[in-house]
Amino acid sequence: MISAEEESDFISQAKAGNQQAFRKLYESHVDALFAFMSQFSDNREQVREWTQRSFIKAFDKLDSFKAASRFKSWLYTIALNEMRMDMRNNIDFEEFEPQKFGDNHDPDTEVPNNWTETKDAIKELDPDKKIVFLLHIAEEYSHREIGSMLQISEGTSRVILHRAKKKLRQILEL
């Protein structure tokens, strides 16, 4: 894991064309990005493809990265856009298997004892609700960060999360 200062230095160096610096950024974030994207598909090859395309786009667009945001948030935005494009085009998108859901003890999201029921319920959410739900509950992003990543307002993120929770409660009959 690299420090925020080291990351900033690597970003500056990578923007100047230093491929080794970008390699350090890649190594620092690839496992976390792969784990996050794995929550949306059981197909490891698809997740590898999304992850690879995300880093290629990040490298190509590194000059557009603004230091005002976190590199991880910017990278996840690119990854989510890659995944959403595939979802829209129905390219081998499988239901995700959430890995971390339930780790964040949100009082509005009661996790029933039967994990299989919960996974099945989450699978019934539409893709946008799944994305916002997982970003907020599993990845612990704020609504402001989610809004920035998905190019929606903070309020829209809150509404989508509320609707996702409401739908889960209906499905699970809580």
How open is the CA angle 11-16-18, to the nearest 5 degrees?
A: 75
pTM here is 0.67
Question: Quick one: pLDDT at residue 130?
Answer: 86
Q: Average pLDDT by consecutive 10-residue portion of the chain (174 residues)?
A: 88 93 95 88 89 94 86 91 73 40 44 64 84 85 89 93 92 82
Ranges of each domain in the chain: 1-97, 99-174
- Alpha-carbon Rg of the chain, whole angstroms? 17
Question: Quick one: pLDDT at residue 102?
Answer: 42
Question: Quick one: pLDDT at residue 122?
Answer: 80
DSSP letters along 89-138, please? TT-S------SSTTSS--TT----S-HHHHHHHHHTS-HHHHHHHIIIII
Q: Which CATH number does the domain 99-174 belong to among 1.10.10.10, 3.50.50.60, 1.10.150.130, 1.10.600.10?
A: 1.10.10.10
Question: Quick one: pLDDT at residue 88?
Answer: 62
CA-nearest of 51, 146, 136 to 101 is: 136
Question: Quick one: pLDDT at residue 115?
Answer: 64
CA-CA distance, 168 to 37, in Å (whole number)?
21
CB count, 10 Å around CB of 155?
10
Q: Which CATH number does the domain 1-97 belong to among 2.60.40.10, 2.160.10.10, 1.10.1740.10, 1.20.1070.10?
A: 1.10.1740.10
Please give the helix or strand (H or E) that residue 63 lies within, else none: none
Question: Quick one: pLDDT at residue 103?
Answer: 42
CA-CA distance, 21 to 123, in Å (whole number)?
38
